[in-house]
Each structure stands twice: as structure tokens, then as C-alpha cells.
């Protein structure tokens, strides 16, 4: 396999299956001929999958019954040991481009799926060539946009999906990534403290540049607007969105959301020299949006009192990093913001925990861990732990307000476990019995 120098020490190209470790004897795929498997971390159980069979014809026992988004390629979810992978058939050039692009995006901390391998050189039992496959790890607790809808899409849910898409696009553009095919179909969504976090799932048209031009950004934005409008029209036709929704008007939300966020992150701001407090105000505003100011420029001119402030380098994940530093918890951005707010409140209430690090440690011990450990095993797949903690804290606030008293955490937790969590839909990518047909759209509704 040929690679440029920057990738020499990363993926390993396994040209002959005979050179790969096996658990017991040759697999049927190995008997049918050699494969070329490119993987940074080779998983031996990849050899057990039926690569000699076209993906559309894979046996049911290999498949995981999970909801899929719309794709121009054949895509299937499959079991790999105790986890789930997504397998996409495409041509080898596209597979290699997307594999390497996803690895680069991962290094840049972009929310995206994890690439596992490229499987090329496939042939069926008749000796006919089969398309190469790109293998990625399924993102637990994630849903394609169609799976978020039940009988009718709530406008608020749609707004949050598009806002999450716009935020992802801004993050990509700040890093110089041109997507080329922005759409809800190419994105996975995870709940994030009442909002949604968007993850890139398809990078086959993407390119990474030192910096994007305004024209490249605008074209990506226009592609997203058109694609989202088309996706909404399709949903309306299928009866999944109320007919009163204007797909064109709603799709333009991504443009407004994107431009507002882009301006907040990159726009130059002028103010009088005596208003230097606005520097901190601007930084706080960026932090509230989930971004850090790594560096900023202040420009002044001799004899003038005006100051120009422009963030120079911005990065997402301010609250995530703060929570990770204080507690070791790695969660979504909005979840981190909500948990940090509770830590700050805990710190205020606990007279013995004035130090921030000490307060955070005590909060994990007395709040976060007790909530997570209280989740019954049969309910552990409903939501990821950080989302459960967020919802318990929100539930406590609601019932305290309704009852006009400060409800103890233990009482609020029990009420949540009794009355709320059992009725939530499973979002941990629970693998259903393939014979049962898999989950329908209504199994992944926005039950807020």
C-alpha cells in the first residue's frame, strides 16, 4: 500500500490474511483469497465477518438492528465482539480518503465517528470482485436525524437539530475543513443536556485546508440549506413532520444560526479605550458559547482612544475541558456546563469546600457517583450517565419549584427513577433480536 510520509507510521496494511493472527484455524474468507486490511489498531475479530459476501446479503446473525440514515452507499451495522460497527461499501479511493480524513479530524478533536479499517481485495465465492468497505465504530447513544422523530416533529426539536448542525459546521470551518456535503443525513446526534450535539459521520467529500475562503464557507452553507430543505420535504411527504412546517424557511435557520455564531467568534469589535471591561465581556460571551479564546489581538492607534478587539484563535470545548480538569469526567459541552453549574452551587453551599478542586471532588463523590450507581441495571441503557445526572438535577429543580421547597437529592433521584427514566427510549444502541425487525422511528422519539 502506498502512503505519503505523514501516514507512514500509522495504519498497517495487512496484505495477506494468512499473516494476521487467528483464534482457531482459517476463516472462510481466508480460504476464498487474500484481503487487504488497513487499520491503525487491528481487531482480530474483523476476520470473522463475511467479507466474501456482498454487504446487502450479509447473514442476519452478523447484523445489528439499529436505525440507519439515508446513504448513497450500502451501509450496515454489524456486531464486532461486544461492540457495534458501521460498514459502508464504496470504491477504494473514496474509502481511503475518508478513512484518513476521519483520522485527521479525530486528532483535531472534531466530533466525528471513529475510523477502524479499510477492507479491500474482496471477492465472492464465484471469484467476482466486491466493493471495498470502510469500517467505523458506531457512536453509542447517537441517532440519525430521522430516528429523533416520532409521529410529528416538534418545531423546537427541529430548531435544536439545525442549531447543532450549524455549530458543528462552524467548528469544522474554523479548523479549515471543507465538508462539501452538509446535511442532516451525514450527521449523527446525541442528546446534550436538553439540546443536541452533532457528530460528522460522512467525510468522503471533505478536504482540510490551512484556512477556508469566504466562498468555500458560503458554498458549504448553501449546500446545507438546500439539503436540509430537501430532507424536510421528504419527511413531510412521509407524514413525519406537520404540514404547517415550511421546509425552505426552516432550512434557512442554519444560515442564521451559523452566521450569528461565526460573527460572535471572529468579528472585530471596536470600543472606546475607557470601556476595556468589554474585553472580558466578549471572552465570557465566547465561553458561554462553548469556546475558549486561545489568543486575541488588541489594536490601538497613536492619538486615538479607540480599541479594536478580535479573537485570533478560538477553540470549542471550554466547559468540557474545565469539567475534565476538575473531575476527570469527559462529557458533552452542554452537559459539562450544567454539571459545572451544580458544582459551583455545591461549592457555595458547602462551607468546608471552598477550594474549587476540593469542591469538585466532593461533588463527584456525593452527587455524581451516587446518581449513576443508583441506576438499575435494566435501565442503564436508557441514557448515558452524564445525561441521567443532568436530568435528575433538572427534575429536582422542577419538583422543588412545584412543591415550593428544597427537595433533597435522594428524594428527587428516587422520583426520577420511578416516574421518568423507565419511560425513556433506549439510546445506548441496544441490539435487538434481528428476527424482531429492529427499532422503528417511534422508538427513538424526542420524549422531552
CB atoms within 10 A of CB 188: 25
Q: What is the pLDDT of residue 316?
A: 66
Q: What are the CA-CA distances from residue 211 to residues 7, 106, 215, 217, 412 (Å)? A: 22, 18, 12, 10, 49
Q: What is the pLDDT of residue 320?
A: 82
Q: What is the pLDDT of residue 441?
A: 32
SS3 content of the chain, % helix, strand, coil (to 5): 45, 20, 35
**Topology (CATH level 3) of domain 5-138:** Phosphorylase Kinase; domain 1 (3.30.200)
Q: Are 112 and 106 in contact (CB under 8 A)?
A: yes
Q: What is the pLDDT of residue 98?
A: 96
Q: What is the pLDDT of residue 30?
A: 46
Q: What is the pLDDT of residue 438?
A: 39
Q: What is the pLDDT of residue 344?
A: 80
Q: What is the pLDDT of residue 149?
A: 60
C-alpha–C-alpha distance, residues 337 and 290, integer Å: 9
pLDDT, averaged in runs of 10, over the chain (448 residues): 34 40 45 76 82 93 74 86 89 94 92 93 90 92 72 67 89 94 89 81 94 96 93 83 80 90 80 66 73 63 61 64 86 84 77 71 90 88 85 88 86 90 64 38 36
Is the torsion defined by CA of 127, 128, 129, 135 positive or negative? negative
Q: What are the CA-CA distances from residue 148 to residues 38, 67, 121, 240, 257 (Å)? A: 34, 10, 37, 10, 21
Strands 133-137 and 83-89: antiparallel
In sequence order, what DSSP letters do the residues of 206-261 get, joined into one string?
-EE-SS--HHHHHHHHHHHHHHHHHHHHHHHHTTSS-TT--HHHHHTHHHHHHHHH
Q: What is the CATH number of domain 143-264?
A: 1.10.510.10
- Each domain of the chain, given as residue ranges in start order, spans 5-138, 143-264, 267-316, 319-430
C-alpha–C-alpha distance, residues 187 and 197, integer Å: 10
Q: What is the pLDDT of residue 349?
A: 67
C-alpha–C-alpha distance, residues 396 and 223, integer Å: 42
In the numeric block, which cell numbers belong to residue 231?
A: 430532507
Question: Can you list the alpha helix ranges (DSSP code H) found in 302-431?
Answer: 318-327, 333-349, 356-363, 369-374, 385-403, 409-419
Place of cell 456486531: 79
Of 414, 389, 415, nearest in space to 402 by CA: 415
Half-sphere exposure of residue 61, counting CA atoms within 13 Å on the CB side? 3
Helix axes 356-363, 333-349, angle to 10 degrees: 110
Amino acid at each position: 500500500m502506498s502512503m505519503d510520509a505523514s501516514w507512514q507510521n500509522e495504519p498497517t496494511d495487512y496484505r495477506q490474511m494468512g499473516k494476521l493472527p487467528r483464534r482457531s484455524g482459517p476463516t472462510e474468507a481466508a480460504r476464498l483469497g487474500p484481503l487487504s486490511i488497513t487499520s491503525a489498531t487491528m481487531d482480530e475479530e474483523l476476520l470473522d465477518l463475511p467479507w466474501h459476501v456482498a454487504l446487502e446479503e450479509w447473514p442476519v446473525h452478523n447484523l445489528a438492528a439499529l436505525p440507519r440514515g439515508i446513504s448513497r452507499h450500502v451501509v450496515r451495522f454489524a456486531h464486532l465482539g461486544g461492540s457495534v460497527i458501521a460498514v459502508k461499501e464504496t470504491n477504494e479511493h473514496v474509502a481511503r480518503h475518508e478513512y484518513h480524513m476521519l483520522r485527521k479530524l479525530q486528532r483535531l478533536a472534531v466530533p466525528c465517528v471513529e475510523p477502524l479499517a479499510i477492507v479491500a481485495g474482496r471477492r465472492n465465492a464465484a471469484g467476482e470482485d466486491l466493493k471495498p468497505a470502510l469500517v467505523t465504530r458506531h457512536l453509542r447513544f447517537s441517532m440519525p436525524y430521522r430516528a429523533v422523530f416520532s409521529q410529528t416533529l416538534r418545531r423546537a426539536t427541529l430548531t435544536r437539530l439545525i442549531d447543532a448542525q450549524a455549530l458543528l459546521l462552524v467548528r469544522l470551518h474554523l479548523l479549515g475543513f471543507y465538508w462539501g456535503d452538509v446535511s442532516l443525513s451525514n450527521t449523527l446526534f446525541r442528546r446534550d443536556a436538553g439540546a443536541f450535539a452533532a457528530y460528522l459521520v460522512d467525510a468522503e467529500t471533505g478536504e482540510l485546508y490551512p484556512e477556508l475562503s469566504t466562498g468555500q464557507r458560503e458554498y458549504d452553507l448553501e449546500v446545507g440549506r438546500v439539503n436540509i430543505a430537501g430532507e424536510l420535504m421528504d419527511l413531510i411527504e412521509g407524514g413525519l413532520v406537520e404540514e404547517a412546517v415550511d421546509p425552505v424557511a426552516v432550512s434557512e435557520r442554519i444560515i442564521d444560526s451559523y452566521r450569528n455564531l461565526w460573527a460572535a467568534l471572529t468579528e472585530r469589535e471596536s470600543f472606546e479605550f475607557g470601556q476595556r471591561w468589554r474585553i472580558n465581556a466578549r471572552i465570557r460571551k465566547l465561553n458561554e458559547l462553548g469556546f475558549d479564546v486561545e489568543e486575541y489581538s488588541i489594536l490601538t492607534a497613536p492619538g486615538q482612544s479607540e480599541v479594536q478587539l478580535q479573537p485570533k484563535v478560538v477553540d470549542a470545548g471550554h466547559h468540557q475541558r474545565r469539567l475534565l480538569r476538575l473531575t476527570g469526567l469527559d462529557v458533552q459541552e452542554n452537559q459539562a456546563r450544567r454539571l459545572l453549574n451544580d458544582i459551583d452551587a455545591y461549592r457555595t453551599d458547602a462551607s468546608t469546600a471552598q477550594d474549587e478542586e476540593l469542591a469538585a471532588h466532593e461533588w463527584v463523590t456525593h452527587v455524581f457517583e451516587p446518581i449513576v450507581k443508583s441506576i438499575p441495571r435494566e435501565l442503564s441503557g436508557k441514557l448515558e450517565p452524564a445525561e441521567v445526572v443532568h436530568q435528575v438535577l433538572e427534575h429536582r429543580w422542577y419538583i422543588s419549584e412545584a412543591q415550593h421547597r428544597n427537595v433533597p437529592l435522594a428524594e428527587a433521584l428516587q422520583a426520577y427513577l420511578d416516574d421518568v427514566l423507565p419511560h425513556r427510549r433506549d439510546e445506548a444502541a441496544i441490539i435487538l433480536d434481528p428476527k424482531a425487525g429492529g427499532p422503528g422511528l417511534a422508538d427513538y422519539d424526542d420524549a422531552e
